[in-house]
């Protein structure tokens, strides 16, 4: 399918799914490209369990991609394993940056401080781009309430010629909490320590009461997104 055809498909699906429940959006994604050509992108962060629960209810065999940048909190890796076990997710793929690229461009592992944009590109964007060559569409857990940069995300969009489904776009924090409570999902271990949004260890800090949930990401810098979502 050409990019123009995919763009038209994205527009039609977005119009069709405006009032759809998250499970219905995920099912529509499976119907659009097939399970094996669809990937869920999950950070296994503070709210990831809610989306993964709905994905597992639709089909626990849908591929899930986790980008292990090499800078993940140990607690995030533990949380990944706990959710995979509880939700019986059968096709979770942890993908890592190319070792040769890191040795050449980040030999001292300090690029996160000197040039965080390039660090994100090498460790996240390029890694995901490589992983997504096997797929035609992705599902992610972005919500409009998370940040100003996400306030207008559609239900379905085109990202680099591939369909991107945002089934939780219209969900509220209360909706997320209800899924966690109903399904008895564990919280990310760092939530109790004041982390409301969790990425790589060097670029993530605690948030204060009343702050934007993503205020602890790249604190003190103009940077607000890692860049894996082009629409951001």
What would you report as the CA-atom Rg of the chain, rounded to the nearest whole angstrom? 17
Residue 232 and residue 214 in contact, taking contact as beta carbons nearer than 8 Å: no
d(CA 29, CA 134): 16
Contacts 24+ apart (CB under 8 A), 105-113: 109/70, 112/71, 112/200, 112/202, 112/203, 113/202
Q: Which residues pair with 65 in a beta bridge?
A: 41, 93
d(CA 182, CA 57): 13
- Annotated active-site residue 120? The verdict is no
d(CA 228, CA 93): 17
User: How many CB atoms are located within 10 Å of the residue 177 CB?
Assistant: 12
Q: What is the 3-state secondary structure (H, E, C) of 14-69?
A: HHHCCCCCHHHHHHHHHHHHCHHHEEEECCCCCCHHHHHHHHHHHCCCCCEEEECC
Residue of 119, 200, 203, 226 marked catalytic: 226
Residues designated catalytic: 226
């Amino acid at each position: 399918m050409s990019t123009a055809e995919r763009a038209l498909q994205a527009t039609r699906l977005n119009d069709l799914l405006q009032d759809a429940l998250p499970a219905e959006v995920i099912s529509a994604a499976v119907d659009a490209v097939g399970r094996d050509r669809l990937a869920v992108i999950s950070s296994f962060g503070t709210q990831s369990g809610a989306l993964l629960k709905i994905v597992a209810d639709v089909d626990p065999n849908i591929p899930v991609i986790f980008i292990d940048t090499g800078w993940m909190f140990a607690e995030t890796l533990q949380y990944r394993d706990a959710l995979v076990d509880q939700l019986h997710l059968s096709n979770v793929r942890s993908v890592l940056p190319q070792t040769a690229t890191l040795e050449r461009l980040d030999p001292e592992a300090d690029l996160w401080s000197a040039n965080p944009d390039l660090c994100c590109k090498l460790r996240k964007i390029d890694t995901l781009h490589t992983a997504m060559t096997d797929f035609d569409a992705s599902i992610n857990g972005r919500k409009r309430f998370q940040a100003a940069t996400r306030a207008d995300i559609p239900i379905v969009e085109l990202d680099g010629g591939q369909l991107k489904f945002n089934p939780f776009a219209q969900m509220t924090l209360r909706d997320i909490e209800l899924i966690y409570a109903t399904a008895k999902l564990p919280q990310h271990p760092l939530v109790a320590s004041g982390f409301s949004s969790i990425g790589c260890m060097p670029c993530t800090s605690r948030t204060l009461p009343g702050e934007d949930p993503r205020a602890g990401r790249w604190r003190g810098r103009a940077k607000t997104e890692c860049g894996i979502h082009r629409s951001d």
